[in-house]
Chain A
Amino acid sequence: MNPVEPEELSAFLDGELDAERVREVEMQIAADPALLRAFEALSGADAAWRAAAATAIFEPAVELPATGSRPSWLVASAPLIVALVLLRMAPKLIESPVFGFGLHAIALAALLAAIIRLMWADSRSMSASI
């Protein structure tokens, strides 16, 4: 059995050792009065510091993003990208003024939808309170 290292005493106190090492440390503390005193001093100080630190706790007022409102910029911008591609390609693909006008109208509608979606996502992003 390896002797208890000083830092292991801290880890033992913090419950951060594995089960086998915990048993070994317990046995050594029981058998060694100096180690027991060291552990008790550490344990007492730790309890006092934890109690002191706990007096700083308060419940902060924090606002989180609203459910489902997280702005996924790629998704929100997709109609905008489609609109720009259509506007760029339209004169080359369709020579008919009627089809060209229709295509431009669809592209502009997509553009407007993208802008509205982005504005909506932005306005909702900080609206849920804890």
Chain B
Amino acid sequence: MLGVRAYERELRPLLGQAAAYARALLRNRDDAEDAIQQAALRAWERIEQYDEARPFKGWWFAILRNCCFDVMRHRSKSRTDSLDGVDPPDDRESGPLDWESLDAGLGRLAPAHQEILHLRYYGALSYADLAEALGIPRGTVMSRLHLARKALAAQLHEEDL
């Protein structure tokens, strides 16, 4: 079982990519930080369940993914509960950012394709990590990622026309 120092050593290099992944999913920097904070603590609470023979990054990103979904659910509930119905502020600036342009293309793909491309491009997960995070065989990762890339290329090409 990983000790706290080993856990921190494994986690620290992932935080930048985790931030990009959560930011793309939640489209809000503060929400992304909340999700990462939750994932950091939730993973530590469940460290006994982590099998060191399996990829840590994939295991941790599976937890982060669930934390992002929790934040989304909480956010939509907050919006429903709020009296004025105003969306929480986000960090979007006046001009489109590069990652937002990519995300706009991703947003029109099938959910399974969006999911694998988010993890691959924002989280920089390897095939082994993707298999662990999504709970699918490596062969499925390979074919799904290829189809997702084709769909994204077609989508962005369509937008350019």
Minimal beta-carbon separation of B68 from chain A (angstroms): 13
Kindly state whether residue A57 has any CB partner on chain B within 8 Å: yes
Which chain B residues border A16 with CB–CB below 8 Å? 126-127, 142
How many Å lie between the Cα of A41 and that of B153 in the bound state?
9
Could you tell me if B23 and A52 are in contact, using CB atoms closer than 8 angstroms?
no
Kindly state whether residue A46 has any CB partner on chain B within 8 Å: yes
Chain B CB within 10 Å — which of A46, A54, A69 has the most?
A: A54
Which chain B residues border A61 with CB–CB below 8 Å? 33
Could you tell me if B40 and A63 are in contact, using CB atoms closer than 8 angstroms?
yes
> For window 1-55 of chain B, which residues contact chain A by CB distance below 8 Å?
4-5, 7-8, 11-12, 15-20, 23-24, 29, 32-33, 36-37, 40-41, 44
Which partner residue on chain A sits nearest B15 by CB separation?
A: A60
Main secondary structure of the interface of B (DSSP, over half): helix
Could you tell me if B24 and A53 are in contact, using CB atoms closer than 8 angstroms?
yes
Which chain A residues border B8 with CB–CB below 8 Å? 64, 130
Q: Which of B69-77, B79-87, B97-105, B107-115 contacts A (4 or more CB under 8 A)?
A: B97-105
Could you tell me if B33 and A60 are in contact, using CB atoms closer than 8 angstroms?
yes
Scoring A residues 60 to 83 as 1 if CB is less than 8 Å from chain B, else 0, what string do you get?
Answer: 111111111110000000000000
Minimal beta-carbon separation of A76 from chain B (angstroms): 15
Minimal beta-carbon separation of A90 from chain B (angstroms): 35
Interface size on A, residues (CB 8 A): 36
Could you tell me if B19 and A10 are in contact, using CB atoms closer than 8 angstroms?
no
Could you tell me if B11 and A58 are in contact, using CB atoms closer than 8 angstroms?
no
Kindly state whether residue A111 has any CB partner on chain B within 8 Å: no
Minimal beta-carbon separation of A51 from chain B (angstroms): 7
Which chain A residues border B117 with CB–CB below 8 Å? 49
Given contacts A10-B149, A130-B12, contact A62 B20 (CB under 8 A): no
Which chain A residues border B40 with CB–CB below 8 Å? 62-64
Given contacts A55-B98, A61-B33, contact A49 B152 (CB under 8 A): yes
Could you tell me if A55 and B97 are in contact, using CB atoms closer than 8 angstroms?
yes
Q: List 20 A-B contacts (CB under 8 A).
A: A7-B143, A8-B142, A16-B126, A45-B149, A49-B121, A51-B98, A53-B99, A54-B99, A55-B98, A56-B23, A56-B97, A58-B16, A59-B19, A61-B33, A62-B15, A62-B40, A63-B37, A64-B40, A64-B41, A67-B4
Binding site for B on A (CB under 8 A): 6-11, 14, 16, 41-42, 45-46, 49-70, 126, 130
